[in-house]
Structure 1
Amino acid sequence: MRTAVLGAGSWGTTFAKVIGDAGHPVTLWARRPEVAAEITTSRTNRAYLGDIALPKTVDATADIAEALAGASVVVLAVPAQTLRENLSEWKAHLAADVVLVSLMKGIEVTTGERMTEVVSEAAGVPAERIAVVSGPNLALEIAQGQPTATVVASVDPHTAETVAELCANTYFRPYTNTDVVGVELGGAIKNVIALAVGIADGQGLGDNSKASIITRGLAETTRLALAMGASIHTLSGLAGLGDLVATCASPLSRNRSFGALLGQGLTVAEAEARSNRTVEGVKSSGAVLALGAAHGVELPITQAVVGVLTGRVGVDELAELLLARKRKAEGPQR
């Protein structure tokens, strides 16, 4: 089985390493020729993973046709908002029976669609041959070989198992799931919640405040996911709670770090210049809020984050805004 990973950022490069460390040959496509050359000659991608060595089972190219030639599994690791355009260019090179795997955690802004929905439409591939990988997967820790669990979801259990077998190695443990909706929404919405946690952290608020945001963030994620047909078990598992905790707690999280910059007083433009990397929560937050409106689900944390990002709410108003909501019982009452 030959695999191609499209996108040589931190997660794409790391996932190629995961597959390579599982003993499978994998070709990593990089948009910039100099990155592909570094990976091929030095076995590193220093811009994203420092001096971490890539296995000999990983090669790289900047030629998309070369990367996709003969690939039976293609892993997509590009920014969520560029996916449709990229796939429209790449689809001519895809094998007729290709399995496509999404590593992206976002919602398409223009359509409100999940990434696997975009993949199916743009590539013309049925849902049965599409999978998504999601969970508490901070790229640098995985690249270092730290033990990590993840979820591989597909509506077809065989497809999920095929991808899980491809990436299972001594430090990376995949579990399979057929709840694609829950897995994708958990991965996308946690980025928005992590922005809120980062803002609180940047303001110097303590663990009580951040724990409150995380807990209520899980509640609003679950409400929307259930309204869209997900299983509650997914949201309490690796792709829900697990991913939420990792993203909200770790300084390696781009979304949390971006939120912290906003909390310290930087504008969105200044924070983007400082980050210099794609922050999916910033791009997807408005689309997540629109999904909530479409399904009649209140998303107070998401609404507050969108307010901050659009300049309608100051970061110093965020905590007060969340606490000002009408009091009510937390759960079912006897």
Structure 2
Amino acid sequence: MKISVLGCGRWGSCIAWYLDRIGHEVVSCGLENAPELQQLLKTHHNDYLTYPESITVTYDHQFAIERAEVIVISISAQYLRDYMQTITQYDLDGKIIVLCMKGIEESTGKRLTQVVGDFVDTDKTPVAVWVGPGHPQDYVKGIPNCMVIDSENEEVKSKLVHSFNSELIRFYLGTDLIGSEIGAAAKNVVGIAAGMLDGAGCTSIKGALMARGTREVARLIKAAGGNELSAYGLCHLGDYEATLFSPWSHNRRFGEMFIKGEKFEKLAEGVMTSKAMLRLGEQLGVDLPITTAVYRILFENSSAKEELSALFTRSIKEEF
């Protein structure tokens, strides 16, 4: 299968490496002036992995899009709308778009497949999401994991799962696109909260954070029309080890450094997703106490200690 991966950061480069590894014809495409693309063009190598010579590296988006059967997009979620405005100047009919990023659009509260749907006819250009746990640092060592592909198009979903499945990544067929997207985005917010607990020396509370965070996200998924059980699957709870505990988790690391007053230089999607989730929660009438606490700490200069205390002094209620 001819696949073009648009975006060549940490996860985008890993996807290109993986899809080439299992036998697909892969093009890795990025923005011309992006440092990560320039590094791959010069050395076929980045901080995480080395591309084999079989992967074509380019900044020619027209070439990458026109030759592809499947277009995988792996960029910052908040830039997706602008990016779609750029790539829809090329003919996307008959191609499959796979979104490999996790977020909710902050300005609208839309899921990312909805953003893509603002630009393409999804009957002609089906859209899928690829979500779940895993880090490039583990995959390149041959450490396996499980992930999910979901789409409203059953035929496309099945095709992708069977084409992408291997001994390194076992794919499951998602059954709830709404839940898969919201759950995958929300785990980054919970990851920031986990990092804040680490930074505050309260790591032992992360067990409670996992349980209550999942319950909070389940309520949001249900209110949005999805299946609340999705929050307990690979897209959300299944991704917690990689997000709440891993030293490689950008969101966990961001939260830890934020509490310590240090600056984190890399992308932490959960920052803007906390704003987007609050917007969505307000639209749907869902109380999101953990998300609200993270948002207030990040954007309203609220005290982390006070926000944490407020969570523990909420009114007594039944667990479920």
Mean Cα displacement is larger for which, 117-126 or 322-331?
117-126
SS in 2 for 1:298: coil
> What is the percent sequence identity of the aligned residues?
33
1:108 partner letter? E
Runs of 5+ in structure 1 lacking a partner?
Answer: none
* Conserved? CA contact 1:228–1:295, under 8 Å: yes
1:35 Cα shift?
A: 4.4
Tell me what 1:28 maps to: 28
* Conserved? CA contact 2:95–2:125, under 8 Å: no
- CA distance in 2 between counterparts of 1:67 and 1:35 reads 17
Aligned pair count?
A: 319
- CA distance in 2 between counterparts of 1:203 and 1:102 reads 34
Tell me what 1:76 maps to: 73
* Conserved? CA contact 2:218–2:230, under 8 Å: no
Q: Deviations over 1:148-170 (max 9, x none)?
A: 11000011121112222332223
SS in 1 for 2:119: helix
Tell me what 2:152 maps to: 155
1:229 Cα shift?
A: 1.6
- Aligned partner of 1:226 among 204, 222, 225: 222
1:200 aligns with 2:173: no
* Conserved? CA contact 2:97–2:125, under 8 Å: no
- Aligned partner of 2:310 among 313, 318, 321: 321
Superposed, 1:261-272 pairs within 5 Å as 261-266=257-262, 271=263
Tell me what 1:252 maps to: 248
* Conserved? CA contact 1:116–1:131, under 8 Å: yes
SS in 2 for 1:101: strand
1:176 aligns with 2:173: yes
1:327 Cα shift?
A: 1.1
Mean Cα displacement is larger for which, 71-80 or 159-168?
159-168
Q: Deviations over 1:201-258 (max 9, x none)?
A: 1011132x11111211001000100111222332221112101332111111111100
Tell me what 1:44 maps to: 45
Tell me what 1:301 maps to: 290
* Conserved? CA contact 2:3–2:72, under 8 Å: yes
Classify 1:216/1:197 alpha carbon distance in 2 versus 1 (closer, same or farther; 3 Å). Answer: same
1:39 partner letter? L
* Conserved? CA contact 1:128–1:159, under 8 Å: no
Tell me what 1:2 maps to: 2
* Conserved? CA contact 2:210–2:237, under 8 Å: no
1:291 aligns with 2:291: no
Tell me what 1:213 maps to: 209
1:74 Cα shift?
A: 0.3
Runs of 5+ in structure 2 lacking a partner?
Answer: none
- CA distance in 1 between counterparts of 2:122 and 2:318 reads 45
- CA distance in 2 between counterparts of 1:210 and 1:27 reads 40
- CA distance in 1 between counterparts of 2:36 and 2:312 reads 47
Superposed, 1:95-106 pairs within 5 Å as 95-106=92-103
1:95 Cα shift?
A: 3.3
- CA distance in 1 between counterparts of 2:274 and 2:202 reads 22
- CA distance in 2 between counterparts of 1:302 and 1:233 reads 19
- CA distance in 1 between counterparts of 2:13 and 2:179 reads 25
SS in 1 for 2:171: strand
Q: Deviations over 1:261-284 (max 9, x none)?
A: 122134xxxx2xxx2222111011
* Conserved? CA contact 1:43–1:54, under 8 Å: yes
- Aligned partner of 2:126 among 113, 129, 140: 129
* Conserved? CA contact 1:199–1:259, under 8 Å: yes
TM-score of the pair, normalised by structure 2: 0.94
Mean Cα displacement is larger for which, 232-241 or 276-285?
232-241
* Conserved? CA contact 1:87–1:123, under 8 Å: no
1:71 Cα shift?
A: 0.8
* Conserved? CA contact 1:152–1:174, under 8 Å: yes
